[in-house]
C-alpha cells in the first residue's frame, strides 16, 4: 500500500499552530519561514512545502477569503493558489520582526493547518521518465533531510510520485497507450522500469505532484 497524505506534525512537530474556529487564523510567520527554509537548499530544485487549510469535517480545502502578513500595520498580501495553497513569501525580515499571518475563511467548521511536500513546477502535461525519476529521488532526499538522523531510520521509502487533479483525467505513455485514469494518478519507479515507460502525458495539467511512499 502507498501513502500520499498530507505531511502533518510527524515531520513538523516543532511548528505548533492553532486551528481556525472563528473564521480567522492569526499565527506567527516565523514557524512557516523556518519550515520553508528546508526547501531553499541547492539540492532541492523542484521540491517545496505547501501550506494548506483543511476543513476538519470534510477534509477538503477551506475556502479562503483573503490572507496577509502584518507587522506593526505594514501589510504584505499573501496570494492563494488555484489549489487553495497559501503562497507565503520567504522573507527573513518578516521572520525576524515576528510578523503575524492572518487568514480569513468562510468555512463554519474548524480549519486545520496542513503541510504537504510537493513539486514546485506543475505547469506542463508531459513528463519524461528521467524527469519522474529525478523527482522521486529528490522527494526521497527531501523527506530524509526533514526527518533528521533518527527519524530517517523509520522513514518509508519514496516509491514514486502522485499526480493530483481537480477532475478525472487520462494518462498516456509516450507510445500512446492508456496508462491510468482518475483524479489521483500514481507512477512508481518500479512501473517505469517494468513497463519501460519513456514518459507520461496527461490530458490536463496537475494541481499538485506529491511523493508516493510505502506505508
pTM higher than 0.75 for the full model?
A: yes
pLDDT of residue 23: 80
Write out the three cell numbers for 183: 483524479
Write out the three cell numbers for 7: 505531511
Query: Which residues 6+ apart lie within 8 Å of 96 measured at CB?
Result: none
Region of poorest pLDDT, from 19-23, 80-84, 116-120, 157-161? 19-23
Is 188:180 a contact under the CB 8 Å cutoff? Answer: no
Over residues 187-204, mean pLDDT? 95
Biggest alpha carbon distance in the chain? 58
Segments making up each domain of the chain, as ranges: 2-119, 126-214
pLDDT tens string 58-100: 989 999 999 999 998 889 999 999 889 999 999 999 999 999 9
pLDDT tens string 121-159: 999 999 999 999 999 999 999 988 877 654 555 677 899
Amino acid at each position: 500500500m502507498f501513502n500520499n497524505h498530507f505531511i502533518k506534525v510527524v515531520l513538523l512537530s516543532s511548528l505548533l499552530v492553532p486551528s481556525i474556529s472563528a473564521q480567522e487564523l492569526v499565527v506567527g510567520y516565523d514557524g512557516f519561514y523556518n519550515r520553508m527554509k528546508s526547501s531553499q537548499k541547492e539540492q532541492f530544485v523542484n521540491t517545496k512545502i505547501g501550506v494548506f487549510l483543511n476543513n476538519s469535517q470534510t477534509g477538503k480545502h477551506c475556502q479562503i477569503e483573503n490572507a496577509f502578513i502584518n507587522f506593526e500595520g505594514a501589510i504584505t498580501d499573501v496570494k492563494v493558489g488555484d489549489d487553495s495553497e497559501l503562497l507565503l513569501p520567504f522573507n527573513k525580515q518578516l521572520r525576524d520582526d515576528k510578523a503575524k499571518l492572518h487568514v480569513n475563511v468562510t468555512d463554519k467548521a474548524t480549519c486545520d493547518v496542513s503541510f504537504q511536500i510537493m513539486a514546485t513546477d506543475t505547469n506542463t502535461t508531459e513528463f519524461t521518465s528521467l524527469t519522474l525519476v529525478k523527482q522521486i529521488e529528490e522527494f526521497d532526499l527531501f523527506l530524509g533531510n526533514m526527518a533528521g538522523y533518527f527519524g530517517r531510520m523509520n522513514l518509508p521509502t519514496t516509491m514514486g510520485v502522485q499526480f493530483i487533479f481537480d477532475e478525472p483525467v487520462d494518462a498516456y505513455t509516450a507510445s500512446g497507450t492508456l496508462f491510468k485514469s482518475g483524479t489521483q494518478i500514481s507512477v512508481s519507479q518500479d512501473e517505469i522500469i517494468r513497463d519501460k515507460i519513456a514518459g507520461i502525458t496527461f490530458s490536463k495539467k496537475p494541481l499538485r505532484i506529491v511523493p508516493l511512499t510505502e506505508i
